[in-house]
Amino acid sequence: MNRRILLAAAAALPFLAVGPAPAAAGSRACVDSPDTALRVCIAVDARGPSYQVVRNGREVIRRSALGLSLEGDGPAQVNRIERIERAYADQTWEQPWGEQRLVRDRHNEMRVRLAGPAGARPYEVVVRAFDDGFGFRYDVPAAGPVEVLDEATEFNFAGRYDAWWYPARERERDEYLYTRTDLDAVSLAETPFTLQGEGLYLSVHEAALVDYASMNLRRTGPGAFKADLMPWSDGVRVRRDGAFVTPWRVVLVGESAGALADSRLVLNLNEPNRLGDVSWVKPTKYVGVWWEMHLNRSTWGGGPTHGATTANVRRYIDFAAENGFGGVLAEGWNTGWDGDWIANGDKFSFTQAHPDFDLAGLADYARQRGVGLIGHHETGGAVENYERQLDAALDLYAGAGVRAVKTGYVKPNGTIVHPGPDGATQSEWFAGQYMVRHHQKVAEAAAARHISIDAHEPVKDTGLRRTWPNLVSREGARGQEFNAWGRPTNPPEHVTILPFTRLLAGPMDYTPGIFDLTFGKAKVEERVQSTLATQLALYVVIYSPVQMAADLPENYAARPDAFQFIRDVPVDWETSKTLAGEIGDYVVVARRQRGGADWFLGAVTDETARRVPVTLDFLEPGRRYEAQIYRDGPGADYVSNPYAFETARRVVTAHDRLELALAPGGGQAIRFRALD
Ligand code: NOJ
Ligand code: CA
């Protein structure tokens, strides 16, 4: 059964035209958000088409160019608005799984047709204005093959802002620490690109990146940015055949950092579920042969130190079964991957297991114990090799009852090779159109077999999980793995930045839950830079429907007091709210379990200790809850005393207030168990 249902009364007719359609032509047309605070205007003048954004009468985005440059277009350009069509929507749709079950999509739409003299290619700009931001896309008519040489879209900010960003198109793809700088210190930035200033929080991103190139932002002048699409190796940005729409260009606008995090605008701009009944997509917690290899205690490659042996994986299956986890990941199970992540991806086999790894036997054993294996396809960036084996690889897993596969694309950015039309080798960026197409192919091939995908080194998320709900999670930022490598590890502020940057794009497989924070390292920048309580809080702060308990079973066995929270915390939510937070300082998130009455809270801080008051008015009025509190103990400090930890219990209601005491690098996790 398709679990996606429309609930609002207007659902049967979600789009109703409210203006004269088509409206009179002119040179300027505007659309307001439903609350009328935000106004997006499109204009055409001698310099070409542009847009401008005003919020409560104040300019937020100055005149910014619009347009695409297509191969073969002559000098004649669009110079007038030929037609305007308007619509509005107010509908509520249901996510099959997610951070929030019911999502309201309320917006005003304006579709503007731009035209010009003979020879100018007409096209449409579709704008949707929401209370929490806006999006626009190009709708381009074309007959036959077409090449996008450039996209003119600008984002010219009015006023002074700081930006949270890292450089795009660098070697490690999206795995960089964010820095906060003046907007004018930015060079080329990845999105979501988050700004703070003028009493506002903005974030520029894109939605529905399908068969197109991923967008970065290049600074072109004071406060001025231009879309920079990751090109093919020959410089062409995008190749399409026939009419096409671009991804939505999105700007979230809020008066608090939390307003950005709680926006569902990116999802709303994606197409509804195309997979129908997706009850086979299972949000789950998982464990696996993973952290031990990142700590160099076992290896991906075969031989005496091989990690993914039948015996070792059985140990993790037992641990998962005993603790209620649904999945067990086994990396390094296949031949050809000799341990070097990058050098020889074209030799990886996706069907041949090492002799000491019995896939069928383990799958059976897992099934008996009520656990599922999570498959692993590290490609080493050798995409052609993977695509050649894709069907056989997925068939093998599907036959063994594997319902989720983690993929990986470890290779320096810009070195994804494939044969070009003339047989010569071409090298592509990790998120150009070539890779966007590849990930789409994997998503669809996996969906056909009822397999979910969790991609590492992915193309950034743009909300495609709405359309293909088997795209459950992805990496796309510095995850916990960096905390094993020590060069240096993630500073405490990293997890207070992610909710307002990377996580605006969608779920992240951060792999929280490290309990042995020091693993023999003396220097703080060589081990996990957090307290124990923080590791619990991350299960709530960082949303993902697949959430790893990443540490070794013996480290959980040593801390049953803290481990209880990981056993209890769900991965699928009825609703989610960011209660407080400032980017790079701290964040407090509360989520209500889906299909249950319990609430869960997670709070993390940067290197600064703080006391954060929280009113519990998110709890159901009139209900009593037992607050099961997991917090930093006396003297806790991520540098000097990371294991100081305590638990407490008290009965609370929606009228109560708590003060969360967070140690330096600390955190707090609370389960509010409904009592009546
Ligand atoms: C990098 C991924 O992020 C990590 O999770 C994985 O273990 C390694 N690549 C090997 O595939
Ligand atoms: Ca990675």
pLDDT tens digit sequence for 183-241: 999 999 999 999 999 999 999 999 999 999 999 999 999 999 999 999 999 999 999 99
Residue-range definition of the domain harbouring residue 93: 2-268
Question: Ligand 1 in contact with 410 (CB < 6 A)?
Answer: yes
Say how many Å lie between the CA of residue 408 and the centre of ligand 1.
Answer: 6
Percent over 70 (pLDDT), the chain: 96
Is 44's pLDDT higher than 90? yes
| Cβ(631)–Cβ(645) below 8 Å | yes
Residue with the nearest Cα to atom 7 of ligand 1?
Answer: 290
665 lies in a domain?
no
Stretch 162-168: mean pLDDT: 98
Other Cβ atoms closer than 10 A to 513: 25
Q: What is the position in ligand 1's atom list of the atom closest to the CA of 290?
A: 7
Say how many Å lie between the CA of residue 478 and the centre of ligand 2.
Answer: 7
Question: 9-18, 208-217, 399-408: lowest mean pLDDT where?
Answer: 9-18
Is 461's pLDDT higher than 50? yes
Maximum CA extent, the chain: 76
Q: What is the CATH number of the domain that holds 225?
A: 2.70.98.10
Report every protein residue that has its C-beta within 5 angstroms of ion ligand 2. Answer: 456
* Residue 305 φ then ψ, to 5°: -105, 15
Percent over 90 (pLDDT), the chain: 93
Q: Where does the pLDDT of residue 363 fall: very low under 50, low under 70, confident under 90, or very high at 90 and above? A: very high
- How far is the C-alpha of 517 from the C-alpha of 141, rounded, in Å? 56
Say how many Å lie between the CA of residue 409 and the centre of ligand 2.
Answer: 8
Is 108's pLDDT higher than 90? yes
Mutate to test the pocket of ligand 1, among 176, 298, 378 (most ligand atoms within 8 A of CB): 378
Question: Ligand 1 in contact with 461 (CB < 6 A)?
Answer: no
pLDDT value at residue 25: 55
pLDDT digits (tens, 9 = 90+) for 176-191: 999 999 999 999 999 9
pLDDT digits (tens, 9 = 90+) for 622-635: 999 999 999 999 99
Question: Ligand 1 in contact with 231 (CB < 6 A)?
Answer: no
- How far is the C-alpha of 81 from the C-alpha of 74, rounded, in Å? 19
Is 1's pLDDT higher than 90? no
Stretch 262-277: mean pLDDT: 98
- How far is the C-alpha of 111 from the C-alpha of 136, rounded, in Å? 9
Q: Number of folded domains in the chain?
A: 1
Map residue 447 onto helix, strand or coil.
helix
How many Å is the Cα radius of gyration of the chain?
25
Q: Strands, DSSP E only, in 46-101?
A: 48-55, 58-65, 68-70, 80-94
50 lies in a domain?
yes
Question: Ligand 1 in contact with 475 (CB < 6 A)?
Answer: yes
Q: Where does the pLDDT of residue 15 fall: very low under 50, low under 70, confident under 90, or very high at 90 and above? A: very low
Say how many Å lie between the CA of residue 407 and the centre of ligand 1.
Answer: 9
Contacts of 654 by beta carbon, 8 Å cutoff, 6+ apart: 616, 617, 618, 619, 620, 621, 622, 623
522 lies in a domain?
no
Say how many Å lie between the CA of residue 443 and the centre of ligand 1.
Answer: 19
Catalytic amino acids?
A: 481
**DSSP for 519-552, written as a single string:** TT--SGGGS--S-HHHHHHHHHHS--SEEE--S-
Residue with the nearest Cα to atom 3 of ligand 1?
Answer: 456
Question: Ligand 1 in contact with 456 (CB < 6 A)?
Answer: yes
Question: pTM of the entire structure?
Answer: 0.96
Is 250's pLDDT higher than 90? yes
Say how many Å lie between the CA of residue 173 and the centre of ligand 2.
Answer: 9
Map residue 664 onto helix, strand or coil.
coil
Q: What is the position in ligand 1's atom list of the atom closest to the CA of 457?
A: 3
Stretch 62-87: mean pLDDT: 96
Stretch 503-513: mean pLDDT: 98
pLDDT value at residue 277: 98
pLDDT value at residue 19: 41
Q: What is the position in ligand 1's atom list of the atom closest to the CA of 456?
A: 3
Q: What is the position in ligand 1's atom list of the atom closest to the CA of 293?
A: 7
Question: Ligand 1 in contact with 481 (CB < 6 A)?
Answer: yes
Question: Ligand 1 in contact with 376 (CB < 6 A)?
Answer: no
DSSP 2: -
Mutate to test the pocket of ligand 1, among 331, 337, 344, 454 (most ligand atoms within 8 A of CB): 331
37 lies in a domain?
yes
Phi-psi map region of 12: left, alpha, beta (phi>0 left; psi -120 to 50 alpha): alpha
Which residue type, as a one-letter code, is found at position 657? R
Closest ligand by atom to 172 CA:
2
Residue with the nearest Cα to atom 2 of ligand 1?
Answer: 456
Q: Strands, DSSP E only, in 363-494?
A: 372-378, 404-408, 416-419, 425-428, 452-455, 471-474
Residue with the nearest Cα to atom 11 of ligand 1?
Answer: 378
